[in-house]
Structure 1
Amino acid sequence: MRNSFDVVVIGAGVFGLAAALELRRRGRSVAVVDRFGSGHPLTSSTGRSRGIRIAYDHPFYVDLASDAIRRWRGLEAATGRKILHLTGQIDFGLPEKLAGIVSAVRGAGGAIEELGAAGLYARLPYLRLDEPKVGLFHPDAGTVLSDEAMAAMKAGALASGVLLYEPERVVAVETGGATRVVTEKRTLEAETVVVAAGPWSGPLLRDLGIEVPLAPAVAQVTFIAAPALVDLPGIGEWGGDEDGLGGVYGHPVPGIGYKLAFSSGQQGWEPEAAEWKPDLQEQTRLLGWVDRRMPDFPRTVQLTQRHPWTMTPDGDFVVDRVGSIVLACGCSGHAFKFGPALGPLVADVVEGQPANALFRLDRPSVRNRTVTASDPILR
């Protein structure tokens, strides 16, 4: 069997599969290794749905999200799978955050409305805000059906000639000459190794002498059983959590109703955990938020799920190169929506282009700064 490739990718989550797809499109031979298997419940790229929005306070992310929507549509056309469910999104909370979002979206040519109480109520009749009762609405938002998205990306990768080894644990990465990825079953050689292993990225990189400030956390999402809600817009509250730092996000989920979650991790991640049991206290706290913000909203919980995400100090990703190792990690709770648009970011660095300043490992907003598992989503 073949054991030498242009690129070996560690991790078959959304970052790893996107990178593999783009590298194959550019003619590279690619193998992907995943510890549990793509989309496994213990990984970050799991579950029924993720939010998608162009409402960012940085123009690069606005453009990236718009590109992602185009690419997701392309995958839908290519595979016949339903991936996107776009119903728009309402954002509210910290005035400075909202102002930054409006500036960035309009600067990138996107559509966004500034609304008062009547306009917000017309878009989402359940919503009740404290003063000032203002918010935003933009139509290019909604839901990525993540299980369908992962299946489409995986099928595309396999069809393009990517070799996928799963479940198969990487036990070592060896540099010097050809770089080697040693798994429980084989040794693979490559010119470049992409580390896209989600919360496992930090330990793998540390063994290579590469220190990255990453804090894996376990996030919880709650699905409300109310199919009548599937045409409602998503929501994003900025700075509304009890400590004034976090908030709540949500979006409709076809076949279920609506998904809600806090935008901060509630506990640290354990690399050898066999499962993540629901935190009923957090669920109760979330329903308390519903009592305050959407008192007439349905309350029937159909499902609660937990999965990891990996925070960086500034909420931006890490996509950079150190020798023969390319880093693709630090998703910071908001990467999945970008899906196939992440691939070119990684492939460019693999091919020798300079890393985007926003994602460099040595950027000032990351150097000599700490991050904790409970830090909120900042972007």
Structure 2
Amino acid sequence: MSNQQPYARRIQNIQSHIVNNSCNNNKKNNNNNNELLYDCVVVGGGITGSSACYQMAKEGLKVLMLEQFQEAHDRGSSHGDGRIIRLSYPEDTYVRLAKMAYPEWSEIERLSNTKLIHITGGLDFGVPNAQPLIDLIDSYKRNNIDYQILTKKEAELNFPQFKFHENDLIVFQKDSGVAYASKSIKTIWSLSKRFGAQILDNKKVSRIKVESENLITILCEDQSVYKTKKIVLACGGWVNQLIHNSQLNITLPLEISQETVFYWEPKLNNTIDYTQFSNPVSIYYGESICFYTLPQIDIRGVKIGYHHGGNVLENMESIKLPYKKENYNKVKEFVGSYMPGLNNDKEYHSVVCHYTNTSDLHFIVDKHPRFSNVIIASPCSGHGFKFGPAIGKLISHLVQNKPSPIGSNDEFLLKRFNINFFPKRTSA
């Protein structure tokens, strides 16, 4: 399956492998495409799909990625100016994955000569009895991660963007930061093509057919057809629709939510620096609520979101509903209480994105229970972007039947669910 050409030689010959990515040109080349047998086809060009494509192409596999919209589009889960990157997880699996993600991001930056990660440091804070904070401190100790517990005075002296409450538990970890989201997608797409991957946008997959354990046929809405040995379904909130259209006989226990993040400007005459060069990322844990903040990057204002505070949708094509007024007011209250230097009367800007959530909020990275050449790599439940290149490597190993690079990852396997199999339909 793998190209045995030495890595250095493949780098030297990269330019000869670049494939034309124009959708119009694809139509006249469909006959040639039909004759190709790919090692793997990736469906979905967000952070998960593009990272998988990049990692497999870098290892010499013949890879095709199909994206139903345009590069770095804003209709899914991978767009925007910034996302939090952090080691601050209570689960050891995510800590191992994060420790692998940081050097993978550095490698992408090196290969592309593009800055994608900026380290700001990170605050996790909230009510002192918040179980997530207690578990987080235990995880830091268990995994030998440097951290500091700050007093209110220490925290406000170092981070004047915040005003904390007297009894808050405040934990600082120096390695947290921001990943530039849309910029990262564009960069990973470009690198994937440099390593020989073929990427087609505006190419919606309508169904797949598993012919055998070594052959899958892919039919797109424009009637183009592709052949591959293996396929990765990394299409987020659209994954169940594709699985059902393809008669793959399972329904994944997923819930799609429409989330909104808000950007809040500093008040007039405020001299505090809220940019990424001074302001840390943060996560607040209340009794039953979680907010996250990112410093100003490209869009004016501090980005603040209510984690899992959006509307649940039936599917990705559902009519979009207004953000819940009571949740909007909770965001405003949080801004006024903890970041009083910001104007919480009205946000400067807002952005809509989607979470595709499992019931336990862990990822799915696993083979289909019946078809071992179908890999399901979705969803990220609102916290996956930071891990992108590491998840891509996880998928690449899975496609090549290599051991997991992070050891045990049972949290990502389908066996944890009571998967419902439905009868195979007789009609096409």
Please report the TM-score for the alignment, with normalisation by the length of structure 2.
Answer: 0.79
- After superposition, the Cα gap between the structure-2 partners of 1:253 and 1:66, relative to the gap in structure 1 and judged at 3 Å, is farther
Q: Does 1:335 align with 2:366?
A: no
Aligned counterpart, 1:347:
396
Counterpart CA distance in 2 for 1:229 and 1:169 is: 40
From 277, 290, 315, the counterpart of 2:335: 290
Aligned counterpart, 1:208:
248
Q: Does 1:139 align with 2:174?
A: yes
- Kindly provide the amino acid, as one letter, of the partner of residue 306 in structure 1: V
From 364, 367, 372, the counterpart of 2:418: 367
- After superposition, the Cα gap between the structure-2 partners of 1:17 and 1:283, relative to the gap in structure 1 and judged at 3 Å, is same
From 30, 37, 58, the counterpart of 1:25: 58
Farther off after superposition, 246-255 or 165-174:
246-255
Map Cα deviations across residues 51-85 of structure 1 (whole Å, 9 max, x no partner).
Answer: 11111001221232232222222222222222112
- After superposition, the Cα gap between the structure-2 partners of 1:273 and 1:82, relative to the gap in structure 1 and judged at 3 Å, is farther
**1:280 positional shift:** 8.0
**1:273 positional shift:** 5.4
CA contact (8 A) 2:264 2:342 kept: no
Q: Does 1:96 align with 2:145?
A: no
CA RMSD of aligned residues (A): 2.2
Counterpart CA distance in 1 for 2:274 and 2:166 is: 26
Aligned counterpart, 1:181:
218
**1:278 positional shift:** 6.6
SS of the aligned residue for 1:229 comes to: coil
- After superposition, the Cα gap between the structure-2 partners of 1:21 and 1:368, relative to the gap in structure 1 and judged at 3 Å, is closer
How does 1:113-192 map onto structure 2 within 5 Å? 113-130=148-165, 132-177=167-212, 178-185=215-222, 186-192=224-230
How does 1:8-47 map onto structure 2 within 5 Å? 8-47=41-80
- Kindly provide the amino acid, as one letter, of the partner of residue 167 in structure 1: N
- Which runs of 5 or more structure 1 residues have no equivalent in the other structure? 370-379
Q: Does 1:236 align with 2:283?
A: yes
Farther off after superposition, 55-64 or 126-135:
126-135
SS of the aligned residue for 2:415 comes to: coil
How does 1:35-74 map onto structure 2 within 5 Å? 35-74=68-107
Counterpart CA distance in 2 for 1:278 and 1:83 is: 32
Runs of 4+ in 1 over 6 A off after TM superposition: none
SS of the aligned residue for 1:85 comes to: strand
Aligned counterpart, 2:23:
none
- After superposition, the Cα gap between the structure-2 partners of 1:120 and 1:340, relative to the gap in structure 1 and judged at 3 Å, is same
Counterpart CA distance in 1 for 2:419 and 2:164 is: 38
CA contact (8 A) 1:11 1:33 kept: yes
Counterpart CA distance in 2 for 1:368 and 1:189 is: 28
Map Cα deviations across residues 179-220 of structure 1 (whole Å, 9 max, x no partner).
Answer: 111102311111111000010012222341122111111111
Q: Does 1:358 align with 2:403?
A: no
- Kindly provide the amino acid, as one letter, of the partner of residue 335 in structure 2: V
CA contact (8 A) 1:117 1:133 kept: yes
- Which runs of 5 or more structure 2 residues have no equivalent in the other structure? 1-31, 267-271, 421-428
From 217, 242, 259, the counterpart of 2:303: 259
Counterpart CA distance in 2 for 1:42 and 1:166 is: 14
Counterpart CA distance in 2 for 1:198 and 1:316 is: 14
Map Cα deviations across residues 85-138 of structure 1 (whole Å, 9 max, x no partner).
Answer: 211111013532112112223322321112222222223334344452221000
CA contact (8 A) 1:120 1:134 kept: no
Structure exhibiting the larger radius of gyration computed from Cα positions: 2
- Kindly provide the amino acid, as one letter, of the partner of residue 245 in structure 1: S
SS of the aligned residue for 1:175 comes to: strand
CA contact (8 A) 2:125 2:283 kept: yes
Aligned counterpart, 1:374:
none
- Kindly provide the amino acid, as one letter, of the partner of residue 344 in structure 1: K
Counterpart CA distance in 2 for 1:152 and 1:311 is: 26
Aligned counterpart, 2:263:
223
Aligned counterpart, 1:309:
355
Q: Give the paired residue count.
A: 362
Map Cα deviations across residues 29-60 of structure 1 (whole Å, 9 max, x no partner).
Answer: 11011111232111111111111111100122
Please report the TM-score for the alignment, with normalisation by the length of structure 1.
Answer: 0.89
